[in-house]
């Protein structure tokens, strides 16, 4: 049996099985007899969540009139058993607000409320549900739920926490997939293995960005293999929580203490993801391509006009001039040998990486000052000088320096030589006659060897291009075989004025040596006999002669080069995705979870407690894993998914532990209902049961499942407090009423914007940056949070589009319990703190909403009572009660007198230059009134 592999691994068959018991500070071992373990395993196999769900018979109930669909029969049967009655149906205003918040995350407009309240058709409620499910805002609301599971964020995490400028492409995919109701089985397959589909589309590859939302560590000096393994671990754990509802992560270091998941099985799951590499997929958006195409067409037309005289000259006159130049032998240049670094280190923590062209690229940490030390060995004889090339690596875009303007300042350049076996006695090599192709005014290359660290060589304004400095040796250097050269590049100016990419060379050419930008490749072509040059070499030499030597060609080429720099860039938008490695990695068990301690090698496989995997080929891959997860025979996936949907609609799942369906998780409150929902979710689509086919089926459609739940009488109950349930069912587990829930963080902001009239309802697109206090941005590492506030209406878009920086998240979202996006979140917490009330009162965003609401009701209503009623309709979808109206009228009168007694306060409240006029005083009073209404608990609560 497959399960026997879990009970008795081959190495332990017939002997005592040792089970690791983790104590938190140290591990211990406890021996258990095989027969005891078999008994435990049999109990685990009999656990309710590992048994395939069966569609139970719909129970018979006494109050059959209350039942609208089978969900109600299961709920009512339990209530009647407990001798409880369900709550009456909520009023229509409550129902439309509840549905709008649950399905769209937005409040209904007064017009929508009036239309529903006055709709006398028997199917008015069902029509409302259908309209809301068809709204594009549905994809935003339920897509946000999924992004919690995907641990979506707009930055890498860890200390450096670099932005991910195109992470939003995955968010767009989720919103679109939810809106078009992509069946959940296909929804899953595309996210776990869209890249492995035959003829995978660009959208399917984008979907695989689900597992690119892991944290990425780009700090200097980190072991990238360690953090690659951490990312794979996160992918395994997230997959287990999201689809299987199991705490598989507990088996990373040792076999699971409570559930039938061995450490070997954990790394068999790990093997599915271990061969996936992170890849960025070019994904320009349609509007970007349209703009690029139009700009490129204009540019091409202008460029053709500029190139025409140059092409005529090149064709008719340049060949003869080039032949004359070559025959005259006018190219004189020093012959350089590039030195291959054996060691390159930064004194202050930057990462120096040797490239294939023997250059050294500086990456990650960018200290204010730094000293680079580079050690090389060379067999070159009679060295007369050294060359330093600073290369334009395009990072930053203005290079080759790492300062914001692309500059660098080389304070001192020095070289030492050490004989083999006597490295500690390195001798300095005197240098002379420095030269450079260009030096900034007052920052000559001569200052790089003057012994003064306060001076140096710099290159402003000629950034965004390579530069060369040459230093002669005072005496010819004859190296002993095995001798080592040590170069020091001291950069002490500060303000991150360090070199980003450089290369070192040496020469034996006779002095004097002069800096030249003639490339080594051109010199090599020049020294090749003309009749032996390849066509590529000939073309390169012609290009050099045209652009660097011939004065007339250079003059004709100037406007061409200038225009070339203005060529529109193809959109660099890239989607984060995964792709299989061409060279499969081997996977081993990590002893105690340590990737540096490999144990037995394992192959991709699934959990023995669940149905067997059915691979398509010889070696299973992620697509096989995804198909196994969505196999109807898998007892977990459908249960976990419908339970999560239920949680979003009732505030509590039928299984309270959404991420733990194992032996330590909560038992379902309504097990038969959970199984009926799971089977219905998987069954072929049948939204209108008939006598021939009486059972509904959703065909993995989330919209159909949501529709089934929200049209039930159970969902439509009032959420009013019931004294009879206070002691018997305080947590509403029996579902004798609806739940009353505070809105989620993003929706709190959304309802303020919607009621005030400021909301920008645009769907999808890049993340936004609403106003952020400067002291919050300062918390980011090394100025990593460059929070440029979004322009115009962009900053009024929905909360789900706020740029999420993992290390310094938007404070309002965290105040209202948004997840930190470091790991998957299956259920948000709900807290109630004074800080939340203070935020709603004083945060500039919410105060601006109150200002806009005051202006909106002032312009759209007549009379104080009319304005108060209008504000109530916009915020609470209802008219105020008589008591509420009396209290608000008194508040209005008191506030108006207060503002009139302090005329200067009107301008402060309105956020504009006001005066003591009656109009300004009334407007300011309405703002204060709006703040009160917007800070009512009812405003941010779904009843």
pLDDT score at 136: 98
- Give the integer Cα–Cα distance in Å for 156 and 808: 12
Residue 3: pLDDT above 70? no
Q: How many whole angstroms separate alpha carbon 371 and alpha carbon 413?
A: 10
Give residue 4's pLDDT band: very low, low, confident or very high (50, 70, 90).
Answer: very low
659/243 Cα distance (integer angstroms): 9
- Closest of 227, 504, 546 to residue 374, by C-alpha: 504
Assign 19 a pLDDT band (cuts: 50, 70, 90).
very low
Please name which of 301, 246, 69 lies closest in space to residue 657, comparing C-alpha atoms.
246
What is the Cα–Cα distance from 716 to 125, expressed in whole angstroms?
Answer: 10
The arithmetic mean of pLDDT across residues 332-348, rounded, is 90
Q: Which of 583, 571, 568, 573 has its CA nearest to residue 281?
A: 573
- pLDDT tens track for 681-708: 999 998 776 666 678 899 999 999 999 9
Write the secondary structure of 595-630 as one string of H (helix), E (strand) and C (coil).
CCCEEEEECCCCCCCCCCCCCCCCCCCHHHHHHHHC
Please give the Cα distance from 903 to 912 (Å, whole number): 13
835-858 residue pLDDT tens: 999 999 999 999 999 999 999 999
Nearest to 463 by CA among 444, 434, 438, 442: 438
User: How far, CA to CA in Å, does 303 sit from each of 296, 311, 390, 565, 566?
Assistant: 10, 12, 31, 11, 10
Window from 162-171, 192-201, 538-547 with minimum mean pLDDT: 538-547
Mean pLDDT, residues 146-173 taken together: 95
Per the structure block, which two tokens stand in for 195?
């890249």
Query: What ranges in 804-881 are assigned the alpha helix state H?
Result: 811-815, 834-842, 844-860, 864-876
Q: How far apart are CA 35 and CA 38, in angstroms?
A: 5
Per-residue pLDDT, averaged over 808-826, amounts to 96
The pLDDT of residue 366 is 85
Q: What's the mean pLDDT in 342-359?
A: 91
Where do runs of H (alpha helix) occur along 194-285? 202-207, 224-239, 263-274
Share of the chain above pLDDT 90, in %: 76
Q: Determine the Cα–Cα distance for residues 672 and 303; give it in Å rounded to an integer.
A: 72
- Measured CA to CA, the distance from residue 685 to residue 688 in angstroms comes to 9
Exposed/middle/buried for residue 51 (C-beta within 10 Å: 0-12, 13-18, 19+): exposed
> Which residues, including other chains, have CB under 8 Å from residue 649's CB and lie 6 or more apart?
102, 706, 709, 710, 715
pLDDT at 913 > cutoff 70 = no
Residue 397 has pLDDT above 60, yes or no: no
**How far is residue 57's CA from residue 115's CA, in Å, rounded to a whole number?**
39
pLDDT tens string 171-202:
999 999 999 999 999 999 999 999 999 999 99
| Strand, helix or coil for residue 503 | strand
Question: What's the whole-model pTM score?
Answer: 0.82
Contact criterion met (CB below 8 Å) for 265 and 6: yes
Tokens of 91: 């009023």
Question: What pLDDT does residue 1 have?
Answer: 32
The contacts of residue 910 (CB under 8 Å, 6+ apart) are 851, 920, 923, 924, 927
d(CA 204, CA 190): 6
H-type helices in 135-208, by residue range?
Answer: 136-149, 168-179, 184-193, 202-207
Average pLDDT for residues 772-796, to the nearest whole number? 80
Q: Return the structure tokens found at 798.
A: 């929905």
3-state secondary structure 5-64: HHHCCHHHCCCCEEEEEECCCCEEEEEECHHHHHHHHHHHHCCHHHCCCCCCCCCCCCCH
Answer for the pair 852, 757: CB distance below 8 angstroms, yes or no: yes
**Helical segments of 656-795, H only:** 671-682, 702-710, 745-756, 774-777
Mean pLDDT of 871-880: 96
pLDDT for residue 918 is more than 70: no
Report whether pLDDT(935) > 80.
yes
Q: What share of the chain is helix, strand, coil (3-state, %, to 5)?
A: 45, 15, 45
Q: Which helix (H) or strand (E) holds 353?
A: strand 351-354
Q: Are 148 and 828 in contact (CB under 8 A)?
A: yes
Residue length, the chain?
A: 943
Please, what is the angle between helix 637-650 and helix 702-710, to 10°?
50
Q: pLDDT higher for 514 or 776?
A: 514
| Phi, then psi, of 755 in degrees rounded to 5 | -65, -30
Cα radius of gyration (the chain): 35
Q: What's the pLDDT score for residue 44? A: 62
């Amino acid at each position: 049996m497959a399960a026997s592999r879990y009970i008795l691994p081959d190495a332990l068959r017939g002997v005592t099985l040792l089970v690791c018991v983790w104590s938190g500070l140290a591990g211990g071992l406890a021996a258990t007899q095989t027969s005891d373990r078999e008994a435990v395993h049999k109990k685990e196999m009999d656990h309710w969540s590992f048994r395939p769900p069966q569609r139970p018979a719909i129970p018979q109930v006494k109050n059959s009139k209350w039942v609208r669909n089978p969900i109600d029969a299961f709920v009512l049967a339990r209530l009647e058993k407990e001798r409880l009655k369900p709550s009456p149906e909520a009023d229509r205003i409550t129902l439309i607000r509840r549905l709008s918040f649950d399905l769209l995350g937005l409040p209904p407009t007064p017009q929508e409320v009036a239309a529903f309240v006055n709709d006398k058709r028997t199917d008015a409620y069902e029509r409302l549900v259908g309209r809301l499910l068809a709204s594009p805002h549905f994809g935003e609301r339920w897509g946000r739920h999924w992004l919690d599971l995907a641990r979506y964020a707009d930055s890498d995490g860890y200390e450096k926490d670099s932005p991910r400028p195109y992470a939003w492409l995955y968010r767009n995919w989720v919103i679109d997939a939810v809106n078009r109701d992509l069946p959940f089985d296909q929804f899953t397959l595309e996210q776990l293995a869209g890249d492995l589909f035959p003829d995978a589309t660009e959208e399917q590859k984008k979907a695989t960005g689900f597992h690119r939302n892991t944290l990425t560590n780009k700090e200097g000096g980190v072991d990238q293999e360690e953090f690659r393994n951490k990312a794979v671990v996160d992918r395994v754990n997230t997959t287990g929580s999201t689809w299987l509802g199991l705490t598989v992560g507990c088996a990373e270091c040792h076999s699971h203490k409570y559930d039938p998941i061995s450490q070997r099985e954990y790394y068999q799951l790990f093997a599915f993801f271990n061969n996936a590499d992170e890849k960025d997929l070019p994904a320009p958006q349609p509007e970007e391509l349209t703009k690029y195409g139009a700009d490129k067409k204009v540019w091409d037309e202008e460029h053709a006009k500029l190139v025409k005289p140059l092409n005529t000259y090149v064709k008719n006159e340049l060949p003869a001039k080039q032949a004359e130049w070559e025959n005259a032998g006018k190219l004189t240049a020093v012959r350089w040998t590039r030195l291959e670094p054996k060691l390159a280190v930064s004194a202050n923590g930057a990462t120096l990486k040797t490239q294939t062209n023997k250059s050294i690229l500086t990456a990650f940490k960018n200290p204010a000052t730094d000293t680079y030390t580079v050690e090389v060995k060379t067999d070159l004889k009679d060295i007369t000088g050294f060359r330093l090339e600073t290369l334009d690596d395009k990072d930053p875009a203005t290079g080759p320096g790492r300062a914001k303007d692309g500059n660098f300042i080389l304070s001192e350049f020095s070289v030492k030589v050490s004989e083999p076996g006597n490295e500690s006695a390195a001798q300095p090599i005197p240098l002379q006659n420095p030269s450079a192709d260009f030096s900034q005014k007052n920052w000559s290359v001569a200052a790089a060897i003057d012994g003064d660290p306060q001076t140096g060589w710099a290159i402003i304004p000629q950034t965004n291009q390579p530069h060369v400095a040459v230093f002669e040796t005072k005496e010819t250097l004859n190296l002993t075989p095995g001798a080592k050269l040590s170069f020091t590049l001291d950069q002490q100016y500060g303000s991150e004025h360090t070199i980003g990419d450089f290369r070192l060379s040496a020469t034996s050419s006779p002095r004097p040596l002069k800096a030249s930008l003639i490339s080594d490749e051109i010199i090599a072509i020049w020294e090749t006999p003309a009749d032996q040059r390849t066509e590529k070499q000939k073309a390169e030499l012609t290009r050099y002669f045209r652009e660097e030597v011939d004065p007339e060609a250079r003059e004709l080429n100037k406007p061409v080069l200038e225009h070339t720099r203005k060529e529109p860039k193809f959109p660099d938008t890239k989607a984060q995705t995964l792709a299989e490695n061409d060279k499969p990695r081997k996977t081993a068990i990590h002893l105690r979870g340590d990737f540096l301690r490999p144990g037995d090698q394992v192959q991709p496989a699934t959990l023995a407690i669940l149905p067997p995997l059915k691979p398509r080929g010889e070696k299973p891959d992620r697509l096989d894993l995804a198909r196994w997860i969505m196999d109807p025979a898998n007892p977990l996936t459908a249960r976990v998914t419908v339970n999560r949907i239920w949680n979003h609609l009732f505030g509590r799942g039928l299984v309270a532990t959404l991420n733990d369906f194992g032996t330590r998780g909560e038992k379902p409150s309504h097990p038969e209902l959970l199984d009926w929902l799971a089977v219905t979710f998987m069954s072929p689509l049948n939204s209108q049961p008939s006598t021939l086919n009486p059972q509904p089926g959703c065909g993995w459609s989330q919209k159909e499942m949501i529709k089934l739940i929200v049209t039930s009488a159970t969902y439509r109950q009032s959420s009013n407090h019931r004294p009879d349930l206070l002691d018997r069912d305080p947590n509403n587990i029996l579902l004798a009423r609806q739940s009353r829930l505070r809105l989620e963080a993003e929706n709190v902001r959304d309802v303020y914007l919607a009621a005030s009239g400021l909301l920008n309802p645009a769907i999808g697109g890049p993340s936004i940056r609403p106003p952020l206090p400067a002291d919050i941005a300062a918390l980011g590492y090394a100025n990593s949070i460059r929070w440029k506030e979004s322009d115009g209406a962009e900053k009024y878009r929905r909360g789900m589009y706020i740029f999420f920086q993992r290390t310094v998240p938007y404070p309002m979202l965290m105040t209202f319990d948004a997840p930190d996006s470091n790991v998957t979140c299956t259920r948000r917490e709900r807290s109630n703190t004074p800080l939340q009330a203070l935020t709603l009162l004083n945060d500039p965003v919410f105060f601006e909403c109150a200002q806009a609401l005051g202006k909106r009701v002032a312009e759209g209503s007549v009379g104080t009572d009319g304005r108060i009623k209008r504000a109530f309709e916009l915020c609470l979808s209802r008219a105020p009660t008589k008591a509420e109206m009396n209290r608000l009228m008194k508040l209005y009168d008191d506030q108006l007198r207060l503002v009139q007694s302090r005329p200067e306060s009107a301008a402060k409240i309105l956020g504009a230059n006001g005066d003591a006029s009656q109009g300004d005083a009334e407007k300011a009073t309405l703002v204060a009134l709006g703040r009160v209404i917007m800070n009512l608990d009812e405003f941010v609560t779904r009843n």
